[in-house]
Structure 1
Amino acid sequence: NKGLKAMFIMMNEARLGVAVQGLSQSEVAYQNAVTYAKDRLQGRSLTGPKSPDKPADPIIVHPDVRRTLMSIRAFNEAARALVIWTALHGDVSHRSDDEKARQFSDDMMGLMTPVLKGVLTDTGFANAVNAQQMYGGHGYIGEWGMEQFVRDARIAMIYEGANGIQALDLVGRKLPANGGRAIMSFFNEVNTFLKENKDDKELAAFTGPLKKAMDDLQAATMWFMNNAMKNPDNAGAGSTDYMHLFGLTALGYMWARMALTIKAKLAEDAGGKADWFENKLAFGTFFMERTLPETSAHLARISSGSDTMMSVGADAF
């Protein structure tokens, strides 16, 4: 009678692999889209020609093209960091001699598995579609390869447990496990980081938005505690939004940690990579300004509960 337990060990490992697949599809689609955006000539910059010697400017001069590309890149870099952060916890959970460290890391692995699988594959597919959009009609035909990335990214949202199941696993199993020990440990880690860096004005562009995201995540968690027990439909109705709220907050935490490291590198000797570090900070700032605020929308949807969606009969659909 241990087969189901063994199967879920296999499934959870596979879910982490699928999460990396979602990120990989996002990355390869981004790399192709950037190459095309730098090469494709179409129209002129809104602020005047940037390539006056050419019949048109490359489309990368246009703000909306940059918005699309920066959204994908900023996600990819934070997602890669979150995968590595989680993988390191996997090593600690199996190898550390410190029992408390093993427990904490094992909790983080369990908590992050549905988040990584759901968020990285949902967003990986969306990013592949957005990268395809950079090509216009060219992106829809087989010649450029972008439609292949979109098709390949789509399956990752389904197998090893469709993403709606990942969200239910997070809310229904991972949050209440061991009296909420894992989620409280995550809150404590991020809030400790925020407390330690609250007076760093140079880091405020990262800690300020992260603090707001954490407030949203904690409010959503508390809302479930107060409303899901008496009506489990409230948990089901908000589970996907909670998964993405959690994912955005974790990605924001990764950017804040990266920003802290980058600022330390710049304050010392950047080793000739100052421009590279500054550019990385720009992508991180973009994420904090343009992507992380989506946590508030997720919180609003969670807080609306399940009454409306459950108020109509099946025959009304």
Structure 2
Amino acid sequence: MSDSRFKIVFDGALLPGVESTTAKLNLAELFKSDVEAIEKLFTGRPVALKRDLSRPDAETYLSALKNAGVDARIEAEQPVAFSLAETHETSSNAAQPATSPYAPPRSVVGDDLPAYSTLNVFTINGRIGRLRYLAWTLVLTVAMLVAGGIIATAGFAVATASPTAGMILGSLLGLALCIAIVVVSVQIGVQRLHDLGWSGWLYLLNLVPLVNSIFPLLLLVMPGNPGANQYGAPPPRNSTAVKVLASLWLAFIPLMLIIVVTLGMNGYLNQLEANVDSSYESSSITSDDDTDQSTTVYEDDAQSADEAAEPVDSPEQ
């Protein structure tokens, strides 16, 4: 071969702090195999998990095994000019290739490792990256707004004929929409946690006060594992549509903040003007009351003066 080829070799060693049971379960999940087949790899003898790999592919497989707690290594394939096993396979056309007794034993579990995971929104299995998480969340938000508008329109149409029926229909459809949004949001969030190598149960941290204000930011900022981990192969590369949707969502968030701040300032100014108007009206009413009282006192004083100025009939008259 003109290019150098490599293989992944494993002799049963584990990374420090990793238990044997945990590593076996991780490998079974990683290779989509049962634990009995994985047990055959822990004999202490070197096992070639994967052969004939390029250097980048070998690094990808090694990273996946490291994340699973396995201390594997990359070795160069030894080129051979003549292989008795290959000659026997070609001549007899056997279904199973013969192997040399001097070659290290091979395992078929590593051959089932896919390059990328399968994308599926409606599941808690699999992995998605940061941009795809943003894109799917934007689509979910738009779908929620459209469905909410349809439900509101239907409820209003029914309410014109029967207000009670319209209220019941709107409540039931609104409840169904809320449940659907929560379920899909959990599924998307769990897949994002899997991409980080975290358990999906950590999504419950969104129910913890204060933590729920920081935890979603971690899902948006922290990069996922570059290779395969215990939750499967890495997600596919981001398509152009994913990048566009993620960019729209990033632009939509500041726009929403600006709208919220603007509405809040308008509400504050309206409340302030209402308080000023009410204070002005109160002061006007008080001034009018004082003026009326002054006028009344003045009229009383004038009447008293007139009475005092009237002549008094003398006895002579």
- TM-score between the two structures when normalised by the length of structure 1: 0.22
More helix by share: 1
More strand by share: 2
Q: Which has the larger radius of gyration?
A: 2
- TM-score between the two structures when normalised by the length of structure 2: 0.22
